[in-house]
A = this chain, B = another copy of it.
Amino acid sequence: MHILVLGAAGMVGRKLVERLLRDGRLGKRDISRMTLQDVVAPTQPAKAGFPVDTIAGDFAVAGVAEKLVADRPDVIFHLAAIVSGEAELDFDKGYRINLDGTRMLLDAIRLAGNGYKPRVVFTSSIAVFGAPFPDKIGDEFFHTPLMSYGTQKAIDELLLADYSRRGFMDGIGIRLPTICIRPGLPNKAASGFFSNILREPLAGKEAVLPVSEDARHWHATPRSAVGFLLHAATLDSATVGPRRNLTMPGLSATVGEQIAALKRVAGEKVAARIKREPDPFIVGIVAGWPRDFDPKRARSLGFTTAEKTFDDIIRIHIEDELGGKFVA
């Protein structure tokens, strides 16, 4: 089985690739080859039991998608995107990558012909939803994105469903919760603080909290995100039907609950490294974001999270990213 990963150098992409290399298989099939693409060169794995090609370049340039699918990968993970903050600041770039690039990929698959019909796992976002919401957003709630990023993802979902319905591919779109705790350096996502306020204090550093403690949001660990991707790649799409885009399970928590969990898991001293500096710009953005979901369909299709409580989210970060240790 040949697997192509677009956006393989991103945070979720790297974790997915690590997991696939470790497993050597996807579902019941052995992996025979992987192709890793990103705008910056993905890391060439030190040792892999099969050939791994790495490709650096913009997938939204004419002709690139055709090359990526020329060898007819069986499964394509499409994680490549301009993040929300950047897509809002740079209108053209956001639409070029997040809409046109995705459409180019789908069209390259469609036009490959000869019965080529790969499983395409696309990472959508809860940014397809925009306030006002019900307290818990159900599976049949409409899309009213309040940012261009969410608009682009919502459009991609519609394309994925139509291309799948017409038999050009076999797509599954998964709306990831905000990933928490996001490892590494802060990026341009407006949601960065949800992770910063946990990750930085655990590393002995200060972090800024730009919103109030009653801000509620929807979270899942990187470990859960990888689990969702693997399940989306292997589940029987006949059980999904024409409604191909699914809100993934997650954990709804307020910032206050996040901080309380940090205190329980790591202690008061760690939590004291959070500095409260309200930022009206961020407050305004976050006010338009989903707080909670009731993702019945994804649960009934077998998608599950690795964590049951916010304490688990912090413990998983300490296990997976910090070698079991934090700066007390």
Identify the A interface with B (CB < 8 A): 91, 130, 139-146, 148, 151, 154-155, 158-159, 161-162, 165-166, 242-243
Quick one: copies of this chain in the complex? 2
Query: In this complex, which of A130, A162, A166, A243 has the most chain B Cβ atoms within 10 angstroms of its Cβ?
Result: A162
* Contact yes or no, B151 A158, CB < 8 A: yes
If A144-B242, A145-B162 are given as contacts, then 6 extra A-B residue pairs at C-beta distance below 8 Å, sorted by A number, are A140-B142, A142-B143, A144-B161, A144-B243, A151-B162, A155-B159
| Cα distance, A151 to B156, chains bound together (Å) | 11
CB A118 to nearest CB in B, in angstroms, measures: 18
CB A2 to nearest CB in B, in angstroms, measures: 27
**Smallest CB-CB separation from A140: which chain B residue?**
B142
Q: A145 to chain B: which residues have CB within 8 Å? A: 158, 161-162
Listed by A's residue number, 22 A-B pairs whose Cβ atoms lie within 8 Å are A91-B166, A130-B242, A140-B142, A141-B142, A142-B142, A142-B143, A143-B143, A144-B161, A144-B242, A144-B243, A145-B158, A145-B161, A145-B162, A146-B242, A148-B166, A151-B158, A151-B161, A151-B162, A154-B158, A155-B158, A155-B159, A158-B158
Q: A143 to chain B: which residues have CB within 8 Å? A: 142-143, 158
| Cα distance, A145 to B161, chains bound together (Å) | 9
CB A45 to nearest CB in B, in angstroms, measures: 38
| Cα distance, A155 to B157, chains bound together (Å) | 10
| Cα distance, A138 to B158, chains bound together (Å) | 20
CB A109 to nearest CB in B, in angstroms, measures: 13
CB A186 to nearest CB in B, in angstroms, measures: 25
Q: A161 to chain B: which residues have CB within 8 Å? A: 144-145, 151
| Cα distance, A142 to B144, chains bound together (Å) | 10
Contact among B91, B141, B148, B165 for A140, CB-based, below 8 A: B141
**Smallest CB-CB separation from A144: which chain B residue?**
B243
